[in-house]
Structure 1
């Protein structure tokens, strides 16, 4: 891939989200550290993959970055602006520059709304078109851009396949020409052949628009194909982060090694001979920090 521009579009510092249960008297009983002191950057035009098992905090991190959830602690800067404490009106203005593609395209669409109206909704909300005719023309362009017939705009979500609905979700996300898209497991619910088409669409849009992605996934093969860098999360913390090929060639953390060793190999003979690596579940102490072992390669210290 081409060299990445140095300018970070997104900066996340020591971001945390804790969920606390309390007893009848308001005393803390239990604390779940869903995200715990997470730090990373995303450059303009870059794709950062966020991987890990279910419950590792990937999706919560994405929601925090989008300010769909409020952080317990930490800072989020987008295009140099501190957005951690922004309130409703300021967040609304920011939505034109930061968008999301959800895992389940059907649940993210109103079943009673025609898909053309759903794609045009961000244009109306942010007053980016001057008339309904201009909105319809823009929606038709977006449908063509994601590989759908513009005539489909009059249909309802249940009349589409999963892959087509995800294309509709992508069209809605790019309608406002954002600088960053958080893609939260966007291919998990799709067939394998459709997954490749959607990933290629993401790559084409990045080349055309220069959009950056925070790509949340557990499919390491797709992450390796799509992402410039990868951050590995375990129980709310980033345990390793590196350029993609460097991570796959020289994983240092035992959990990362275990994830990579579990990747399926499309060769039965090699699959039988390879050695599996198992993670013992042991975590470093809470005050452990990421250390740079080689340029750009960070590992959570033991």
Structure 2
């Protein structure tokens, strides 16, 4: 069997802050998260806002340091490496951020922005060769190379996200984190960006960690899905297994909130209510297999 490209083991991240009257607050944003991503696979990471999805993506990329746990990429434990030793791996792992407006430097021409990773890593040859490569990247993501001399404010949200994707694939990575890349876009543009990810995955053999709220898009794009609640994965497995036979009450509540494009069925459908704020994990809760790689967080007696 093919070895996993990415292995995340017991990843934890806690934030501490000081509030009103000196009171301290502790937030366990990521609490013992473990998963694997195979070469060429797309894993969808879903959950409500504040569940820890984006923090998990940032920890995987090394943009934040975990309090505990390991991130193993291609057999190498990245959490044990110094920042300098991680640099070669940054060529192989890239990220597309959620907000296409904030992700671009407003003072840089977009061609320079996409070219920057090539300069930093000493790739692409001379300046003329790099510009030609950047032009090819623009064509790959569906943009006219004539746009390379423009500034970010001259583009729409969908075009800016395409520019961010072009920068992310400039180093020809093996693994890509897409951190809610369609949330800030119109519905029609969302479909175009998802199709672009599919095309790039087929063309480059990318493995993808796709973080999203839109469960319909996750079902369309992802081979497997993991559902996060309060910093923990509560259910994971093949996409169709999770969608067709959800076992955790939180997963069922999320799926019941997905609208159905049929007015008659939608009108008579019952929403499942789940009190996430009042929910407490069983003390002995662990991910247990219920069949075919389908895992559910439950206590031993459940």
Relative to the length of structure 2, the TM-score reads: 0.95
2:296 matched residue in structure 1: 299
- 2:6/2:71 contact within 8 Å kept: yes
Alpha-carbon offset, residue 285 of structure 1: 2.7
Alpha-carbon offset, residue 114 of structure 1: 0.4
Instruction: Summarize deviations over 1:75-108 as a string: whole Å, max 9, x none.
Output: 1100110001222211222110000000111211
- 2:93/2:174 contact within 8 Å kept: yes
Gaps spanning 5+ residues in structure 2: where? none
Gaps spanning 5+ residues in structure 1: where? none
1:217 matched residue in structure 2: 212
Large movers: runs of 4+ above 6 Å:
none
Taking the aligned partners of 1:22 and 1:266, their CA distance within structure 2 comes to 46
2:92 matched residue in structure 1: 97
Secondary structure at the aligned position of 1:37 is classed as strand
Secondary structure at the aligned position of 1:84 is classed as helix
Taking the aligned partners of 1:21 and 1:136, their CA distance within structure 2 comes to 45
Taking the aligned partners of 2:294 and 2:210, their CA distance within structure 1 comes to 19
Instruction: Summarize deviations over 1:100-151 as a string: whole Å, max 9, x none.
Output: 0001112111111000000000011101122000000100100000000001
Alpha-carbon offset, residue 30 of structure 1: 3.4
Taking the aligned partners of 2:169 and 2:224, their CA distance within structure 1 comes to 22
1:16 matched residue in structure 2: 12
2:153 matched residue in structure 1: 158
1:7 to 3, 19, 26: 3
State the aligned residue count: 295
Alpha-carbon offset, residue 250 of structure 1: 0.2
Alpha-carbon RMSD across the aligned residues, in angstroms, is 1.5
Taking the aligned partners of 2:275 and 2:23, their CA distance within structure 1 comes to 30
Taking the aligned partners of 1:88 and 1:241, their CA distance within structure 2 comes to 31
2:246 to 245, 251, 254: 251
Secondary structure at the aligned position of 1:8 is classed as coil
Relative to the length of structure 1, the TM-score reads: 0.95
Taking the aligned partners of 2:18 and 2:141, their CA distance within structure 1 comes to 47
1:275 matched residue in structure 2: 270
1:179 matched residue in structure 2: 174
2:195 matched residue in structure 1: 200
Alpha-carbon offset, residue 280 of structure 1: 3.3
Q: Would the alpha carbon gap of residues 268 and 31 (structure 1) be closer, same or farther in structure 2, given more than 3 Å must change?
A: same
1:237 to 216, 232, 237: 232
Instruction: Summarize deviations over 1:234-265 as a string: whole Å, max 9, x none.
Output: 00000000101111100000000000000011
2:120 matched residue in structure 1: 125
Alpha-carbon offset, residue 287 of structure 1: 4.0
Alpha-carbon offset, residue 279 of structure 1: 1.3
